[in-house]
Structures are given as C-alpha cells and as structure tokens.
Structure 1
Amino acid sequence: LQSRYNLSDEAVEYQILDRMSFMRFLGLQAGDPVPDAKTIWLFREQLKAAGRMEYLFKQFTEFLAANGYAAEQGQIVDASIVAVPRQRNSREENRQIKDGATPEEWQDAKKRHKDVDARWVKKNGKTYYGYKNHVDVDVKHKFIRGYAVTDAAVHDSQVFEELLNENNSSRDVYADSAYRSAESIERLAELGFREHLQRKGCKNRKLTTWEQQGNRTRARKRSRIEHVFGVQAMMAGNLILRCIGMIRVRVKIGLRNLAYNINRYALLVTTG
C-alpha cells in the first residue's frame, strides 16, 4: 500500500485508520489494532536485515505463473534512474566517497544522513544522483520478472545477463542500443537467446535503410517496457526515494517493483 500510493510511514498509519478499503486489503476489521508508523518502518528494517525482499518478489512471480500469467512471447530489459536527495559534499568528500572511504571528519550523526552508495550520472543532458532499477519484463503480460539495483553510475549492460529470464516461453530478447556489443551478442547466442538489440549508427557509418526498419520493428516491442516505468512513476508521484544507503534502497525499489506487479495483476484480472 505504501509503495502503491507513495505514502510516508505516518500517512500509511493514518490511511489504514481512515479507509475501509485499506483495512479490507490488510484483513483488518473495525476495532482491530492497526500497525503504527514505527511498526511499518520496523517491517522494512526486518526485510532488510533478513534479506527477504527478493524472496517475497519471487513468491509473487511463482503465484503469477500458477495463475495463468507465466512469462511469454519474449523479454525486454531496460533500466530507470531512481533519484535520491542530492548530497551537499565538498569535492574532497566526494573523492573519498568514490574511493570507497568515509570522510574522517564526519561524526556518527552526520554519517546517518549521508548516502555514500548513491552516484551521479548524466542522461540526455540532465544530471541525476541516485540508483538504477534494472528490470526484465515479459512481452505478453508486462510483468516485472526480475530486477537488480545498482548505483546510477553502473552501465546498463553490466547486469544484462543477470536479468535474463530462462523461464520465458520465447527465447527473444529485446533491449536498446546501450546493451549492444559484440560480447553481449555472442553471450546471448551461447545461452540460446535470439537477440533483438537496437542498432546505433556512428559518425563514420550511418544506419542503412534495412537497419533503420529493423530498429522500428524492434522498438514496437521494446516500447512496452516504457509502460512499466510510466506506471511506476504515476504510482510514486515521483521516483525520488527518501532513504539512505544501498541496502535500504534495494528494499524500497523491490517493494515498488512488487507493488507494480500486484497492481498489474489486479488490472488484468478485472479487465480480462
């Protein structure tokens, strides 16, 4: 509920008390004790400590397959940037953080409010600070079948193979030109996948008419993943995460991905 409606811990507590729909979803009745903001925070912390977020996501993925929504017709791989509040660090502090060190002058209280795992990245002329949500989506149903969380500076192609879903009914793999390299094409062939990676021209070699047509054909399938990111942005209001550190961010992004899948399942069940 928190991820679906982009609510703070305090707002979740209030909405459970105020909305019968929230209570029904949680199996609560009038007069039942309601989890307070501290309990909701503690639940996420326990997920983090136990490393169970991936397990929860996998359980729902298995539920989908058992209920007629197995991964079909190929898969699309892409990544979205998830921003966090920008840090106001000096150049020397940023240098130390990039080297994997924490500035010695930071007191414990200051450390708790500093995200040393997030990184800067530039995309389409804009600068972002945060993380990336790398996802694998099946073509037919548009469910997220797998995900990986990295800092924003990690190139999309670095987690390409990790995301590939062996359980998809088709061996077709769609991705944009960021994933295209001689190594990735060779690896896909070794794993038995059919590559449908966008081609990119360069200064000394423009794309042929045939290659441009191929890109347009692939783009029609690949664009389905933009629906996933669009719905997540709509559900979140914005994609800024207000938590600190890779471990907590993995839980929050994992919950967002799970919330998307639950929302998608409810939509498909009700609309057919």
Structure 2
Amino acid sequence: MFKALVIASLYNLSDEQLEFQIEDRRSFQRFIGLSDAKHAPDRNSFWLFRESLKALKLTETLFNEFNRQLDRAGLIARKGQLIDASFVKAPVQRNTPDENARIKAGETVEDWSASKRSQKDTDARWTKKGDKSYYGYKNHVNVDNAHKLVRKYTVTDASVHDSQALNGLLDSGNTS
C-alpha cells in the first residue's frame, strides 16, 4: 500500500486514478508486488490506508525510511535541489467575524455543537498571490534535481510565506 502511495505522489494521481493505473500498467503492478492474478486495491483502501498512517503518526517515519533506502541504493541527489510550494485548497468556512477572531487566537468556539466542530477546518488560512485569494494550506517541497523524488516536505497553512519553510527544506549536503 505504501508503494502505491509513492506512485500516486510521483505521478500526482487521485485514488481513483491510482486504482485504474495499477490495473492498467504492468510496471506499476511489478513495483507494488502484484501478480497477474491479483487486482489492485480500490480507491477507498488507499484513502483508508493514508488516513490510518495519519492517525498513527507514521507518515513522516515511513517517508524518512523511504528516503533512507533510496540513499542506501545510491539514489542520493548531488545535482541540486528544487524547492517549491503549492496551494491546497480547503472548503471556505462561513464563520462570523467573532468566530474567526477566536479561531485565529487559538480558542475553541464553544457555541458550536460537537458535530459542527467536526465539520469546521480551523487550521486553514487565507492568503493572496497576485490578485487571487486562496484558502487552505501550502505544501512546501524539496525535490532532488537528478531523480525528481521528494526528499523533504512540510505542510503549513496558506498564510505562511514560502521563505519561512525554506531553512527546514534545504539539504545543506546538496548545495554548493
């Protein structure tokens, strides 16, 4: 399942597309260890696996182990690194100005029921790039130039400037 998520990340595939591509491509089947007789896991299985990794806080551990194995196999980038950030949109929250002020202050809005609180995304933030406004998060990513694999990443709310994540992303061993 983890190898399938690596494929999804490398090819920017949705869970639905991942299921289809694994069924369709023999190279993907070989990579994740499926024989001809087996079928790819369905899109819900990928989503549940990803959510389980998040709940168990294993995403970063597995990501680090994956990079350690790449390094051991000689896939160490030494030809530069690409740093970029991209927006991940979240559903816009329809809060009152008072609720927004309390959320930004880190307070819990007591007026909300438990079910309403579970529906609200209180971590996402607004930002503006050019003339366009975005609400959600940012993926800050370091990709090695030689192999085009993600080496480091961090996720922040959208209001965090790209430069704020730069020091945590740069690999000092891969720069002159």
Query: Is this a same-fold pair by TM over 0.5?
Result: yes
With over 3 angstroms needed to count, the CA separation of the structure-2 counterparts of 1:30 and 1:137, relative to structure 1, is closer
Name the residue aligned to 2:131.
125
Question: Identity of counterpart residues, as a percentage?
Answer: 44
With over 3 angstroms needed to count, the CA separation of the structure-2 counterparts of 1:115 and 1:62, relative to structure 1, is same
Distance 1:162 1:102 in 2: 30
What is the identity, as a one-letter code, of the residue corresponding to 2:99?
E
Match of 1:27 among 18, 25, 34: 34
Contact (CA 8 Å) 2:89, 2:134: kept in 1 or not?
yes
Distance 1:41 1:143 in 2: 22
* 1:162 Cα deviation after fit: 1.3
Query: Counterpart of 1:161 in 2: which secondary structure?
Result: helix
With over 3 angstroms needed to count, the CA separation of the structure-2 counterparts of 1:161 and 1:86, relative to structure 1, is same
Name the residue aligned to 1:6.
14
* CA-atom RMSD in angstroms: 2.9
Residues 1:52 and 2:45 aligned together: no
Contact (CA 8 Å) 1:71, 1:167: kept in 2 or not?
no
What is the identity, as a one-letter code, of the residue corresponding to 1:123?
K
Query: Counterpart of 2:94 in 1: which secondary structure?
Result: coil
Unpaired runs of 5+ in structure 1? 172-272
* TM-score of the pair, normalised by structure 1: 0.52
Name the residue aligned to 2:81.
75
1:137-176: CA deviation from partner (whole Å, max 9, x where unpaired): 33333332211111111122222221121332x33xxxxx
Contact (CA 8 Å) 2:23, 2:39: kept in 1 or not?
no
Contact (CA 8 Å) 1:71, 1:145: kept in 2 or not?
no
Query: Counterpart of 2:15 in 1: which secondary structure?
Result: coil
Unpaired runs of 5+ in structure 2? none
More helix by percentage:
1
With over 3 angstroms needed to count, the CA separation of the structure-2 counterparts of 1:134 and 1:20, relative to structure 1, is closer
Query: Counterpart of 2:148 in 1: which secondary structure?
Result: coil
More strand by percentage:
2
Query: Counterpart of 2:119 in 1: which secondary structure?
Result: coil
Residues 1:61 and 2:67 aligned together: yes
Larger radius of gyration: 1
* TM-score of the pair, normalised by structure 2: 0.76
Bigger relative contact order, structure 1 or 2, given CA contacts below 8 A and separation 6+? 1
